[in-house]
Amino acid sequence: MVWGTQPGPRAQVKPTLAYDHVHLAAPDPEEAVAWYIEHTGGTPGESDIHVRFSGRGQMPVEFPFQQQAATLPSAGGAIDNVGFSVADVDAKLRELESSGVKIVSRTREIPGLWKQAVVEDPWGVKIELVENPDRLGLHHVALRVPDPEASLRFYADVFGGQRTRVQGQLDAIDYGNIYLLVLKGEGAPSTGRAIDHLGWSPADTEAAVAEFRAKGVTFETEPPTTLNARGHRTFYLQGPSGVRIQIVDHSAHPDKR
């Protein structure tokens, strides 16, 4: 698998909804947060169970962790992996190996492109590492679904973003702060796996809800009228091929990011 940015300047990305988060699971969320801050360049997020990544001029992306004693690994699920671009894959792989990760595939040189390696974090999240100096840091989240084209149409139509072919090879949607890669595969539903769901945030929740309904999007839970314990309104949608999606309204939260 290879990926990267297209040559030349990138077009301005104006998503309908801002890409918000990738929700992970771990028995000890605070331990997982500390590991990601130490090893992936994240910073403390809006709570002690969130890691924040720079948004490259867009809203930052967060990794919230839910407490869950046992989960299936992300590999094999519809949300297959998260990816980070690093300056030196070999050095990062040595660092991660010393921290106890599982090595899925060691560094390999992709002719004319860059180096790549794949690991699994201590809680079952598959992480892809690449050397892409033009876009260092949090790079992508990758789906594996039976019909990539149908999924690409769904995400672009429902959430916006810019469709692209990353490095001229991989179909993706660019949300400015992260790529959503959509690859062919037979991933199982994401619920209950180490990567449980993806998240977007609307500027106007009522307008977004009306649009979701008009487009026939399946609601897993209905939009609430009250805030949750963290000061958000949240609800869930079902994406194609078993990808669970959370919508987060930050408008009443003091940390609007």
Q: CA-to-CA distance for 156 and 55, rounded, in angstroms?
A: 19
Q: Say what the pLDDT of residue 256 is.
A: 55
> Torsions phi, psi of 8, nearest 5?
85, 175
What tokens does 60 get?
């930052």
Q: Say what the pLDDT of residue 201 is.
A: 96
The single-letter code of the amino acid at 11 is A
Straight-line distance from the first to the last Cα atom of the chain, in angstroms, rounded to the nearest whole number? 33
Find the DSSP H helices in 81-182. 89-98, 148-159
Q: CA-to-CA distance for 238 and 241, rounded, in angstroms?
A: 9
What tokens does 226 get?
């009250």
Q: Say what the pLDDT of residue 57 is.
A: 83
Q: Say what the pLDDT of residue 71 is.
A: 82
What domains does the chain contain, in order, with CATH numbers?
Answer: 18-249 (3.10.180.10)
> Torsions phi, psi of 241, nearest 5?
60, 30
Q: CA-to-CA distance for 23 and 11, rounded, in angstroms?
A: 28
Q: Say what the pLDDT of residue 257 is.
A: 58
Q: What does the pLDDT profile of the chain (257 residues) look like in tens digits?
A: 333 333 333 444 444 699 999 999 999 999 999 999 999 999 999 899 999 999 888 899 999 999 998 789 999 999 999 999 999 999 999 999 999 899 999 999 977 667 899 999 999 999 999 898 888 999 999 999 999 999 999 999 999 999 998 877 889 999 999 999 999 999 999 999 999 999 999 999 999 999 999 999 999 999 988 777 676 789 999 999 999 999 999 876 656 55
Q: With CA atoms as reference, report the closest residue to 49 among 71, 26, 70.
A: 26
Q: What is the CA radius of gyration of the chain?
A: 17
Q: pTM for this structure?
A: 0.90
